[in-house]
């Protein structure tokens, strides 16, 4: 569980950076990073639904060519 909590803390820090960002590209990047860390925290919490969410996110990213 400490790993999931650490990941949530990182997500919170990226959200704060997004709120302070002056340009839209940085704001978007920080929000994407926060979402990424939130998804990782769900996966590391042992929640099977979170693993599925991570797999769906991975599929979506791959289908976009990223």
CA distance linking residue 16 with residue 54, whole number of Å = 23
Q: How many domains does the chain have?
A: 1
Q: End-to-end alpha-carbon separation of the chain, Å?
A: 30
For the whole model, what pTM was predicted? 0.65
Tell me the H-state helices in 21-66. 24-44, 48-63
Q: Give the C-alpha distances (Å, rounded to integers) separating 63 from 43, 57, 66.
A: 21, 10, 8
Instruction: Name the residue range of residue 38's domain.
Output: 2-63
CA distance linking residue 52 with residue 58, whole number of Å = 10
Quick: pLDDT tens for 15-52: 999 999 999 999 999 999 999 999 999 988 875 554 55
């Amino acid at each position: 569980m400490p790993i999931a909590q650490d990941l949530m803390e990182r997500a919170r820090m990226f959200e704060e950076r997004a709120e302070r960002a002056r340009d839209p590209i940085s704001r978007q990047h920080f929000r994407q990073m926060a979402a990424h860390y939130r998804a990782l925290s769900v996966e590391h919490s042992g929640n099977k639904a979170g693993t599925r969410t991570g797999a769906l996110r991975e599929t979506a990213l791959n289908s976009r060519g990223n």
